[in-house]
């Protein structure tokens, strides 16, 4: 029983570690469950700005804030040569009307011979709300409920149609100005309407001359005179967006345009789109200084069309390839919607992989010390079947609750925009240091330096003795805490699928991992024959207890090394000093002489001084140093652009996604990746070796793992020109690597 008493402190350290992680994570906005929609490509959020509350005549704005991942973009009201604009469909109470989207000034996005109009970075699409006299605040509340269904196209090298449903409540009384800065910033990006001129001359005209339009604009600010301008037609399909600008005296072709200033008059000669089918009477434009970006200030004009339009082109049919692509996208979107209500096949695969991965997790070196302690607890009560069953159930409950808590925390933080994966808590130096302190205490306890009843109140000891179920539950909590650095076979793919599923289905995957991990212990606790096979209690238990102190202390050494990778040598030394002071404090509290008070007081002062002076060194995130000879080393630092460049040049690339806190990674590195035959084969085939170190948080690596359908390390990938990437098993072998290279 004394051995199991250690679990009281185990649970306390695990909870403290989660608290440290929450402090270390970036804050995120609280709101209704549908305020934020997160995909792998973009984070979208419905936000509001009502600085004076909600009422007739008061300024109320809502908007969809879109934050694409690097390399992805969304589209303007006129998407250009390809793409689709974002559409917003509102559901509002009676008396509340939504205006048009106040589109910020876009910029040009060139893709081959095409030119699109859109936004590469974060953008807010604001919409004004008009509160009429018919609006009546809810009788049972003071909130204005807003619902939105949005559809958008997010593109990089590929385009993915997406949609989301949002809900938001705006307090009728009081101020809602959390996003005032964003709305003010986007207001500065609105194109400015030209002021009317005195006299009879129109501000702008668009004269049709054959297959071209001569655009003339007056009234532009004097600061723009002489500058080259870019144009964005708000009406799609009229002008050739990809036309190239040339000098004014150049002979024009259907693919070129020219501009010049004549005093205050700006003229542009623009080619019509060869596929034009419309004949509008006015063409609205946005003009911006040439070369501007999304922050450019634009000027809006409405040019009246003069002249006779040439016959429009026949309406073209969609090419078979494009029709097939659109149909595939529609099927994929419909399938994704169906999976929200039906159990998808991918979930069944993920559940099976998660269960098998959790089962194998028991063989990982992270978990073995905890299981050894549990086996000793069985041996103490070999004849008590009921105690075995209760202990097994409590341990299983502790494992399941902990996995669900970790899964919920990870999914919640990812929905808030944080880039996370399995083992994310060990990317925080605070968590690593807390676990090192935990295992130091466990190692000292197992070695016989102290018993926990010497350090805790007698009431707590009595409670613990009377409630062994709590001990078993906290043992399950500890098992999950120490298992998180490990990724067993089948777990990687299961976790990768989990984060793409709805939250309820994803949590089922985490529960399946926990069930697989707890099942062996649960079966032993329920099968009497298994308990009888264990040796009788005796002297051997004390020997085994002290022997188990060494794996615990070895774990401390590993955690100190992990912290050294994150916080540097100074951080690792500071942690060792803290652990030494902690050991001295624990030892001093076990004394019974008069010196106990003196020594324990000195130990408290020592530990406090170390925390005050050296604590910041432990918690710092130090950038990794690059040695001068790194360019000559076999393994080079990973980057997505480096992989693309090497593969494009025809050289195969092998990537090791790893982390210092990943025990499986270190095992594979020593047994396989440093094997002489494997290295010789890499050299013979001129394979570039790249290492993606995930010890610290790295959004680029997280995104790359997500693209491979994985959510944690280790991951091993072989890239070759003209072939899909080959993802190898988490438990690597020389045969796996040599076979992948041979194929």
The pLDDT tens digits of the residues spanning 461-479 come to 444 545 667 777 877 777 7
User: Over 90: is that where the pLDDT of 44 sits?
Assistant: yes
pLDDT-derived band at 14, boundaries 50, 70, 90: very low
Instruction: Give CA angle at 117 (206, 87), nearest 5°.
Output: 105
- In angstroms, what CA-CA distances link 172 with 168, 373, 580, 648, 668? 12, 58, 58, 57, 59
3-state SS, one letter per residue, for 186-219: HHHCCCEECCCCCCCCCCEEEEEECCEEEEEECC
Which domains does the chain carry?
A: 4-26+343-619 (no CATH), 36-189 (2.60.40.1250), 193-306 (2.60.40), 633-742 (3.40.30.10)
User: Over 60: is that where the pLDDT of 24 sits?
Assistant: no
User: Over 60: is that where the pLDDT of 588 sits?
Assistant: yes
Cβ–Cβ < 8 Å for 11, 477: yes
Cβ–Cβ < 8 Å for 702, 499: no
User: Over 70: is that where the pLDDT of 554 sits?
Assistant: yes
b/e burial code for range 75-104 (CB count within 10 A of at least 16 → b): bbbbbbbbbebbebebebeeebebeebbbb
| pTM to 2 decimal places | 0.44
User: Over 50: is that where the pLDDT of 25 sits?
Assistant: no
Most confident stretch, 403-417, 494-508, 647-661: 647-661
Instruction: Give CA angle at 364 (358, 370), nearest 5°.
Output: 90
pLDDT-derived band at 124, boundaries 50, 70, 90: very high
pLDDT of residue 62: 93
> 105-117: per-residue pLDDT in tens?
888 888 777 888 9
pLDDT of residue 488: 53
Cβ–Cβ < 8 Å for 232, 270: no
For residue 75, how many C-alpha atoms fall within 13 Å in the half-sphere facing its CB? Answer: 26
What is the residue-averaged pLDDT of the chain? 76
User: Over 70: is that where the pLDDT of 707 sits?
Assistant: yes
pLDDT of residue 200: 55
User: How far is it, in rounded angstroms, from Cα 706 to Cα 352?
Assistant: 20
User: Over 80: is that where the pLDDT of 411 sits?
Assistant: no
User: Over 50: is that where the pLDDT of 715 sits?
Assistant: yes
Cβ–Cβ < 8 Å for 175, 52: yes
pLDDT of residue 1: 37
pLDDT of residue 314: 52
Higher model confidence: residue 280 or residue 203? 280
User: Over 60: is that where the pLDDT of 164 sits?
Assistant: yes
Most confident stretch, 220-224, 280-284, 705-709: 280-284
Cα R_g (the chain), whole angstroms: 33
User: How far is it, in rounded angstroms, from Cα 700 to Cα 703?
Assistant: 5
User: How far is it, in rounded angstroms, from Cα 743 to Cα 116?
Assistant: 41
pLDDT of residue 365: 58
b/e burial code for range 364-376 (CB count within 10 A of at least 16 → b): bbbbebbbebbeb
User: Over 80: is that where the pLDDT of 630 sits?
Assistant: no
Backbone angles phi, psi at 221, to 5 degrees: -55, 145
User: Over 50: is that where the pLDDT of 515 sits?
Assistant: yes
Examine residue 714 and say whether the peptide bond preceding it is cis (omega within 30 degrees of 0). yes
Higher model confidence: residue 206 or residue 416? 206
User: How far is it, in rounded angstroms, from Cα 677 to Cα 505?
Assistant: 43
pLDDT of residue 2: 38
Backbone angles phi, psi at 365, to 5 degrees: -60, -20
Please report which helix (H) or strand (E) contains residue 163, including its range: strand 159-171
User: How far is it, in rounded angstroms, from Cα 418 to Cα 414?
Assistant: 5
Q: Which of 354, 404, 418, 411 is nearest to 702 (CA)?
A: 418
Backbone dihedral region for residue 709 (phi beyond 0: left; psi -120 to 50: alpha; all else: beta): left
pLDDT of residue 55: 82
């Amino acid at each position: 029983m004394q051995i199991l008493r250690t679990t009281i402190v185990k649970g306390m350290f695990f909870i403290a570690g989660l608290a440290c992680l929450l402090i270390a994570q970036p804050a995120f906005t609280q709101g209704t469950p549908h305020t934020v929609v997160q995909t792998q490509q973009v984070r979208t959020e419905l936000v509001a700005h009502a600085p004076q509350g909600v009422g007739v005549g008061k300024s109320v704005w809502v908007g969809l804030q879109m934050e694409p991942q690097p390399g992805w973009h969304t589209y303007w009201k006129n998407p250009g040569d390809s793409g689709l604009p974002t559409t917003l469909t509102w559901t509002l109470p009676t008396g509340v009307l939504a205006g048009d989207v106040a589109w910020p000034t876009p910029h040009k996005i060139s893709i081959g011979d095409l030119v699109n109009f859109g936004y590469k970075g974060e953008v807010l699409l604001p919409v004004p709300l008009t509160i009429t006299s018919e609006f009546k605040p809810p009788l049972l509340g003071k909130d204005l409920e807003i619902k939105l269904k949005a559809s958008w196209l997010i593109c990089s090298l590929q385009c993915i149609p997406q949609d989301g449903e949002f809900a938001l409540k705006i307090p009728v009384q009081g101020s809602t100005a959390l996003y005032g800065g964003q709305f003010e910033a986007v207001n500065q990006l609105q194109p400015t309407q030209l002021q009317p001129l005195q006299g009879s001359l129109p501000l702008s005209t668009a004269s049709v001359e054959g297959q071209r339009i001569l655009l003339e604009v007056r009234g532009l600010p004097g600061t723009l005179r002489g500058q080259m301008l870019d144009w964005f037609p708000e009406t799609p399909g009229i002008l050739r967006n990809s036309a190239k600008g040339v000098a004014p005296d150049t002979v024009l072709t259907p693919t070129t345009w020219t501009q010049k200033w004549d005093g205050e008059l700006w003229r542009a000669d623009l080619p019509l789109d060869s596929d034009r089918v419309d004949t509008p009477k006015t063409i609205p434009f946005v003009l911006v200084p040439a070369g501007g970006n999304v922050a450019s200030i634009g000027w809006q004009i409405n040019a009246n069309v003069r002249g006779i339009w040439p016959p429009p082109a026949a309406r073209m049919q969609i090419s078979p390839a494009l029709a097939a692509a659109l149909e595939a996208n529609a099927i994929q979107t419909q399938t994704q919607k169906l999976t929200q209500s039906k159990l998808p096949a991918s979930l069944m695969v993920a559940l099976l992989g998660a269960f098998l991965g959790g089962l194998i997790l028991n063989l990982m070196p992270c978990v073995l010390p905890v299981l050894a302690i549990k086996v000793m607890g069985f041996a103490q009560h070999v004849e008590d079947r009921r105690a075995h069953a209760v202990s097994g159930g409590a341990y299983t409950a502790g494992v399941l609750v902990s996995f669900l808590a970790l899964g919920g925390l990870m999914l919640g933080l990812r929905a808030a925009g944080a880039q996370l994966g399995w083992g994310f808590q060990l990317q925080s130096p605070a968590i690593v240091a807390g676990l090192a302190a935990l295992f130091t205490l466990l190692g000292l306890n197992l070695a016989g330096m102290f018993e926990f009843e010497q350090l805790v109140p007698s009431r707590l000891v009595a409670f613990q003795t009377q409630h062994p179920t709590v001990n078993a539950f906290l043992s399950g909590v500890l098992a999950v805490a120490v298992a998180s650095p490990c990724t067993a076979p089948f777990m990687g793919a299961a976790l990768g699928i989990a984060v793409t599923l709805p939250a309820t289905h994803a949590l089922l995957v985490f529960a399946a991992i926990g069930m697989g991990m707890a099942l062996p212990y649960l079966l032993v606790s329920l099968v009497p024959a298994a308990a009888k096979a264990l040796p009788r209690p005796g002297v051997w238990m004390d020997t085994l207890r002290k022997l188990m102190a060494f794996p615990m202390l070895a774990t401390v050494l590993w955690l100190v090394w992990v912290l050294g990778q994150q916080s540097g040598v100074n951080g690792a030394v500071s942690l060792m000093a803290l652990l030494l002071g902690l050991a001295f404090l624990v030892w001093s509290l076990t004394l019974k002489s008069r010196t106990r008070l003196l020594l324990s007081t000195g130990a408290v002062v020592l530990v406090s001084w170390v925390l005050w002076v050296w604590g910041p060194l432990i918690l710092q995130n130090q950038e990794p140093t690059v040695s001068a000879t790194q360019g000559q080393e076999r393994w080079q630092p990973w980057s997505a652009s480096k992989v693309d460049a090497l593969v494009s040049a025809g050289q195969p690339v092998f990537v090791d996604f790893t982390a210092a806190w990943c025990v499986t990674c270190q095992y594979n590195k020593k047994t396989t990746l440093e094997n002489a035959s494997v290295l010789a084969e890499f050299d013979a085939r001129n394979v570039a070796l790249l290492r993606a170190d995930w010890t610290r948080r790295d959004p680029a690596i997280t995104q790359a793992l997500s693209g491979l359908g994985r959510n944690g390390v280790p991951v091993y990938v072989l890239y070759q020109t003209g072939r899909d990437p080959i993802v190898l098993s988490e438990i690597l072998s020389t045969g796996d690597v040599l076979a992948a290279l041979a194929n």
